[in-house]
Amino acid sequence: LPRSFGWIGLGAMGYPMAMNLRKRIPTDSILLVNDVDRSAVERFIRQSSGLGRVVEAATARDVAEQSLCVFTMVPEGRHVKDVFLTPGMGILAANTAGKLLIDCSTIDRASSIEVAEAVKALSDVNHPTRFYDAPVSGGTLGAARATLTFMVGIAADDPSFPVLRELLSLIGGAIHPMGGQSLGLAAKLSNNYISSLNALSTAEGMNLAIRLGLDPKVFSNVMETSSGGSYANSVYNPVPGVCPEAPSSKGYEGGFKIQLMKKDVGLAIDAARQVDAKVVLGLTGLGVYSAASEDPRFRDKDARIVYRWLGGIEP
């Protein structure tokens, strides 16, 4: 494994992922960190003290200049393009020969392919730069527990896969090669299409159950062994108090922001249109997440707050 690592994007996901990385790489290796939000970097440096060297880098270019393996975890395609392609300051302004660049963000495939092509164009044949889309599922709880599922845009028989798997295993659980460039994102967008609608149907079903007089915890337990059960019920239940560790039980803070959920449903619908896949429920889901995202009281909260929005309950 390399001895120098970089991490760009210390948000709800990136922060705990980078912290797990710092805990699991050798103490004499270095971790360069960067985020446009300086307070996140300062907090990270404070909280990782004693785990090994963590150094703030002023730009993405500085991160890439000093590390052999760089992870990125930022919100959208435009942020990923900024981080990689900004002239003079982006990752590709650094000497990246022989380096491994891993983007874990959930973004549109076109942006990811644009970055992959820019990497390829600059890559040295003798010391190729490798770029992979490696989005994750499992949310902030999976990030904190290092149990994330990785969906990687690489073929299972690619000679680079074993190293990639070893690296990703430091911060995740199941590491899946999805077949080739940008297919990690294809899997992630299809997954989130399903999970966003599961979250919505669970929120509506829980609201119905409560209004019919049921105790939410009792009903949720029953669903675990009934056909209405899902991850959205048993791990990220939208009703406060049902899953004590879920964002809903912590004021809907620190989870998956509703505006990111809206982004993912939108990305999945765009992807579906490109391949002529029919989406009926997704359009309704997008409408609900968009409307809730427009309300400043909900915008930055965990997406499962959609339960309160649907029920007309104050956030």
- Closer to ligand NAD by CB, 86 or 123: give it: 86
Tell which one of 5, 6, 7, 11 touches ligand NAD (CB under 6 A): 11
Backbone φ and ψ for 31, nearest 5 degrees, come out as -120, 115
Categorise residue 152: left if φ over 0, alpha if ψ from -120 to 50, beta otherwise: beta
Residue type present at position 295: D
* Residue closest to 84 by CA, chosen among 66, 58, 61, 55: 61
User: Measured between alpha carbons, how far is 240 from 24 in angstroms, rounded to an integer?
Assistant: 33
Catalytic option among 99, 188, 262, 301: 188
- Is 188 catalytic? The answer is yes
CB of 301 to ligand NAD, least distance (A): 12
SS3 4: strand
18, 136, 286, 305: residue in contact with ligand NAD (rule CB under 6 A): 136
Given 5, 6, 7, 8, the residue binding ligand NAD (CB under 6 A):
8
Inter-CA distances, 196 with 25, 43, 89, 178, 222, Å: 34, 31, 35, 21, 22
Does position 258 interact with ligand NAD (CB under 6 A)? The reply is no
* In the complex, least distance from residue 37 CB atom to ligand NAD, rounded to whole angstroms: 4
Phi, psi angle pair for 213, to nearest 5°: 105, 5
Q: Which x/- pattern over 68-87 shows residues binding ligand NAD (rule: CB under 6 A)?
A: -----xxx---x--xx----
Question: x/- site string to ligand NAD, residues 260 to 279, per CB under 6 A?
Answer: x---x---------------
7 in Cβ contact with 54 (< 8 Å): no
Binding of residue 175 to ligand NAD (CB under 6 A): no
Q: What residues act catalytically?
A: 188
Question: Which positions touch ligand NAD (CB under 6 A)?
Answer: 8-14, 34-37, 40, 73-75, 79, 82-83, 105-106, 136, 139-140, 255-256, 260, 264
